[in-house]
Amino acid sequence: MGLEWWQTGVVYQIYPRSFQDTDGDGIGDLAGILERADYLSGTLGVDAVWVSPFYPSPMDDFGYDVTDYCDVDPLFGDLATFDRLLAGLHERGLRVILDLVVNHTSDRHPWFAASRSSPDDPKRDWYIWRDPAPDGGPPNNWLAVFGGPAWEWDEATGQYYLHSFLPSQPDLDWRNPEVEEAMFDVVRFWLDRGVDGFRLDVAEFVMKHPDFPDNPPAARGPSDGGAMGANRDMGAYSSLEHRYDKDHPDVHPLYRRMRRLLDSYEPARIAIGEIHLDLEDWLAYYGEDLDEFHLPFNFRLVYTDPTADAIGSLVDRIEGALPTGAWPNWVLGPHHASTRATRFGPDHLRLAALLLLPLRGTPTLISGDDLGLSEAEIAPEDQVDPWGIRVPGQGRDGCRTPMPWEPGPGGGFTTGKPWLPLGPAADARSVAAQMGDPHSILNLYRALLDLRRREPSLHAGAYRRLEAPDGVLAYRREAPGAAGCTVVLNFGEKPEQVGAAGTIAVSTDRRDEGTVVREAVVAPGQAVVLVDAV
């Protein structure tokens, strides 16, 4: 049985505000994605596009606060523009995955306006309302990810409502069958238009403990790096163990029902879940019979030390823990954490590319990864991210700066003032500048994506770690009837020789590609992919 497209392909996330502006307002739009479609399919060579929210929104959280799930915000275009974009991407062989915000809406969504209008409104229990505690304060000690209590007092109706993020993002009550049906209708609306699947935002949050007990104090022991806040101080939010405000077991039957809906379409559509949980809890989102998420998003490489031992141990642990038949996935640079260029540093930036793309499983690139964009220092007066404003140090602005397409003011992204400043060295990092340099990181990504597509062992083969000197990660990818591939990454500080032979198909150095070697010698910070002779 052959593999599905989402198993062999590479996903590319687009944050629409920062990709391409076509009307000069400094904010990217859907027409801009279509304008750059040939770059995605031809120049770069990815297989699917995940588009972050473009729904109508007051933009308190830049689209993750939705007022209408079945329309397009005028900032980005309209439904006709979306239909043209979908058709244009499909014509180029690109799949389209939409970002679906399932846990909460905007407080200006008509559903919530009705809900807060009266305790007797039919939509009152579409959201989570509770009476005050005996002392008049919030119902429990739950905290919001974006700072402060997770409960907001509503003077008019005399109750608190729950918000896991901003006060203007009230949580839906998915225990109400009417909410589930309304959201499933949203899913049907976009599937009927032809989208290829969804990435579900903060998917583990949608079911809370029905009794709403206090969360216990956070344990200070080690974490495997999957839980939200496990690898950085998120202020007061990190002081609690978030045992009861998310990831209730009742979430799994819900996602099995959603999966059945996706599977009812021909061809079946994909479900990707944003899951920030420790390993055992994260694995549960595949489903006992692989009947929940095709790909519970795996953030562990983002938070793992960039060393051979740490990364090799992580990959071994994931490979050993996956349920039979489950498909792995990897990402190095989500849109809410430091860019990989910043975390890996300039010496290992190219090595990071060769780390991600040859691994077994589905890789996700974030727009800007392909250019090696580093974290931007955003001046206080230019900061717009509500998380960073509410909790200093948590801002996401620096990893959401616009794509530089060409040197010059606006970087080819806009003819106006960009909504965020372009990042450092934007001219040198621009697509136009890098396309003319055969040794640029963009051309390295293009070579890797091409090799991954051409070699069955890289997009479909098994994974086996090899013995290697300290500081070196080496592994084999092998598929029946195809040339095997060996990947060698030197995270150390001196050259190392590894017992691996073959033709150097792609190298961070680029100058040694095509060389046939019997013993690979890799310099510090260098990585190579060797293809066996056949």
Whole-angstrom distance, CA of residue 327 vs CA of residue 138? 42
Q: Which amino acid is at 473?
A: L
* Terminal Cα-to-Cα distance of the chain (whole angstroms): 24
Whole-angstrom distance, CA of residue 406 vs CA of residue 432? 5
Q: Which amino acid is at 58?
A: P
Whole-angstrom distance, CA of residue 152 vs CA of residue 138? 8
Return the DSSP state at 195.
Answer: -
CA 60 to chain centre: 20
Residues 59 and 384: beta-carbon distance below 8 Å: no
Three-state secondary structure call for residue 365: strand
Q: Is 519 noted as a catalytic residue in this protein?
A: no
Return the DSSP state at 124.
Answer: G
Please state, as a whole number, how many other Cβ atoms lie within 10 Å of the Cβ of residue 278.
Answer: 14
Rounded alpha-carbon distances, angstroms, from residue 195 to 93, 261, 401: 13, 14, 27
The per-residue b/e assignment along 451-482, b for 16 or more CB within 10 angstroms, e otherwise, is bbbebbbbbbbebeebebeebbbbbbbbbeeb
Residues 214 and 251: beta-carbon distance below 8 Å: no
Q: Which amino acid is at 279?
A: L
- What beta strand segments (E) does 327-471 contain? 329-331, 362-366, 462-466
The first and second tokens of residue 329, run together, are: 């996935």
Q: Considering 107, 204, 247, 274, which one is annotated as catalytic? A: 274
Q: Report, in angstroms and rounded to the nearest whole number, the Rg of the chain calculated over CA atoms.
A: 23
Q: Considering 47, 61, 201, 369, which one is annotated as catalytic? A: 201
Place of tokens 């275009």: 77
| Contacts (Cβ under 8 Å, ≥6 apart) of 479 | 456, 457, 460, 461, 462
| Contacts (Cβ under 8 Å, ≥6 apart) of 448 | 353, 354, 357, 358, 506, 529
Q: Is 65 noted as a catalytic residue in this protein?
A: no
Strand partners, 101: 201
Residues annotated as catalytic are 201, 274
